[in-house]
């Protein structure tokens, strides 16, 4: 291999892997491959599935370890006792040449491409029980709001967290942020102007929707009734009091915000987000978590996720009890996110 690379630059045709190609063209070809290395075949797959490969490797190392050690490792990947709004993840990368456009900044299509790298990483970090229980996560939609371009060569970070959820969909927010080399994300006048416009729009939506009823959040008992709950706008008393779960620090620039609509599936059966989150440990005490692990040790958890939750009486639904403590926050944030989804759904009629 070293000899081939050396021959590429020295012009030794007897040792070259491309003896009939002139040396300048070979150098140009190598340069093109290097500059576009992140777009080569299977590179995307490696970048996306790298967290999974890492977990598989860790599991292999613990294969002969005591069961107690394996259980402790699995528990460390669960959000036991945490709020869903505390679950955060990030992915750091940079705007390479192959992912940028002719304007010398990150291409619009690359925002969605790079987002793939973080979605699986985030799910494995906080919701690994979903996959262990035989479920999978389906992406229903991804909406991106471009705020400021990311220049070619700029290092940036994608920050992901849960925005809210209803009886079918979970809304995951991603923020594209860079540090330094620009105006402060909090002190930038244009950013402040956009934030003010957003707050005014939020306040207007809240004041004009006071007649909308708020049904109680619950896991639907009818299989094909799993849609969108309508929160009470009065819970948002003031737009000024509404804060981001992961706001930018001084010196940081917000480039884009993305909203991902995902749902949990077991085969073709939709699993309520509340059940998926509680099964991962959210809102559960250690004692309750041990009970959930007993369900998982047999087939009762899989039976529950494949549709058995519909047969559980409302006063026995432990996942709703675990999620109830986050209900006010869930509804408050859902009221903001539902506007985007409803507006885009309405475009089908236009």
In a domain, 257, yes or no: yes
C-alpha distances out from residue 41 to 33, 36, 112, 136, Å? 11, 11, 18, 25
**What CATH number has the domain bearing residue 160?**
3.10.129.10
Beta strands 155-165 and 88-94 are antiparallel
The residues near 224 (Cβ < 8 Å, ≥ 6 apart) are none
Domain count, the chain: 1
What's the token pair of residue 151?
A: 């220049």
Q: How far separated are the first and last CA of the chain, in Å rounded?
A: 59
What's the token pair of residue 211?
A: 């007649």
In a domain, 4, yes or no: no
Range(s) of the domain holding residue 149: 83-209+217-349
In a domain, 35, yes or no: no
- Residue 10's pLDDT is 57
- Residue 240's pLDDT is 46
- Residue 4's pLDDT is 56
In a domain, 194, yes or no: yes
- Residue 238's pLDDT is 35
Q: Work out the number of other CB atoms within 10 angstroms of the CB of residue 22.
A: 11
Per-residue pLDDT tens, the chain, 350 aa: give them: 555 555 555 555 555 566 777 888 888 888 988 988 899 999 999 999 999 999 999 999 998 889 889 989 999 999 999 999 999 999 999 999 999 999 999 999 999 999 999 999 999 999 999 999 999 999 999 999 999 999 999 999 999 999 999 999 999 999 999 997 654 444 455 655 665 666 565 555 555 444 433 334 445 443 333 344 444 444 344 344 567 788 888 999 999 999 999 999 999 999 999 999 999 999 999 999 999 999 888 788 888 999 899 999 888 899 999 999 999 999 999 988 888 778 888 888 88
The 3-class secondary structure across the chain, one letter per residue, is: CHHHHHHHHHCCHHHCCCCCCCHHHHHHHHHHHHHCHHHCCCHHHHHHHHHHHHHHHHHHHCCCCCHHHHHHHHHHCECCCCCHHHCEEEEEEECCHHHECCCCEECHHHHHHHHHHHHHHHHHHHEHHHHHCCCEEEEEEEEEEECCCCECCCEEEEEEEEEEECCCCEEEEEEEEEECCCCCCCCCHHHHHHHHHHHHHHHHHHHCCCCCCCCCCCCCCCCCCCCCCCCCHHHCCCHHHCCCCCCCCCCEEEEEEEEEEEEEEECCEEECHHHHHHHCCCCCCHHHHHHHHHHHHCCHHHHHHCCHHHHCCHHHCHHHHHHHHHHHHHHHHHHHHHHHHHHHHHHHHC
In a domain, 23, yes or no: no
Query: Would the pTM count as exceeding 0.85?
Result: no
- Residue 344's pLDDT is 80
In a domain, 55, yes or no: no
- Separation between Cα atoms, residue 118 and residue 90, nearest integer Å: 7
In a domain, 159, yes or no: yes
What's the token pair of residue 293?
A: 């692990």
In a domain, 279, yes or no: yes
């Amino acid at each position: 291999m070293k000899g081939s690379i050396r021959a590429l630059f020295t012009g030794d045709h007897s040792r070259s892997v491309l003896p009939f190609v002139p040396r300048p063209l070979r150098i140009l070809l190598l340069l093109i491959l290097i500059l576009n290395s992140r777009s080569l075949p299977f590179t995307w797959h490696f970048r996306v599935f790298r967290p999974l490969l890492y977990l598989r490797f860790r599991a292999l190392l613990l294969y002969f370890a005591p069961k107690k050690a394996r259980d402790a490792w699995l528990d460390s990947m669960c959000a036991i006792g945490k709020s869903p709004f505390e679950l955060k993840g990030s992915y750091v990368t940079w705007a390479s040449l192959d992912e940028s456009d002719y304007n010398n900044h990150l291409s619009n299509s690359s925002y969605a491409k790079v987002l793939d790298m973080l979605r699986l990483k985030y799910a494995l970090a906080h919701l690994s029980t979903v996959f262990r229980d035989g479920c999978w996560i389906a992406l229903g939609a991804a909406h991106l709001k471009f705020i400021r371009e990311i220049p070619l060569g700029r290092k940036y970070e994608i920050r992901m967290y849960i925005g809210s959820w209803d009886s079918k969909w979970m809304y995951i927010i991603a923020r594209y942020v860079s540090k330094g080399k620009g105006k402060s994300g909090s002190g930038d006048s244009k950013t402040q102007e956009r934030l003010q416009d957003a707050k005014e729009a939020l306040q207007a939506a809240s004041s004009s929707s006071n007649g909308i009823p708020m049904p109680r959040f619950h896991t639907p008992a009818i299989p094909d009734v799993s849609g969108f709950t309508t929160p009470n706008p009065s819970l948002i008393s003031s737009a000024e009091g509404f804060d981001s779960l992961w706001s930018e620090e001084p010196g940081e620039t917000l480039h884009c915000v993305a909203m991902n609509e995902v749902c949990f599936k077991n085969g073709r059966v939709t699993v309520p987000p509340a059940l998926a989150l509680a099964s991962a440990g959210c809102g559960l005490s250690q004692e309750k978590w041990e009970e959930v692990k007993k369900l998982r040790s047999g087939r009762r958890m899989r039976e529950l996720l494949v549709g058995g939750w519909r047969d559980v009486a409302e006063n026995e639904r432990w996942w709703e009890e675990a999620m109830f403590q986050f209900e006010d926050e869930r509804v408050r944030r859902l009221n903001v996110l539902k506007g985007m989804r409803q507006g885009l759904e309405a475009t089908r009629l236009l």
